Amino acid sequence: MPEPKLSNFFELEEHRFYSESIPCGIDEAGRGPYAGPLSVALVSFSQNSLTQILEGKILKGLTDSKKTF
């Protein structure tokens, strides 16, 4: 399917939002509004970046504090 011709960056982002699956990761830390502050973060990578991450080409030094393997 050919890419649509869009007039500006915002139209491109809107088109991508409604036409593609966007894999992302989300995490939170804290106790919420009743017991203290809550921080939330979401990260999304392009398909090309995800491929490079899985192949170990980028983010080699990134670790997970809860890694079990």
* Burial environment of residue 12 by CB neighbours within 10 A (0 to 12, 13 to 18, 19 or more): middle
User: What would the pLDDT profile of 8-44 be if each residue is shown by its tens digit?
Assistant: 666 666 666 666 666 778 888 888 777 888 888 988 8
Q: How many CB atoms lie within 10 A of CB 38?
A: 12
Average pLDDT of 49-65?
81
User: pTM (2 decimals)?
Assistant: 0.45
Average pLDDT of 38-64?
82
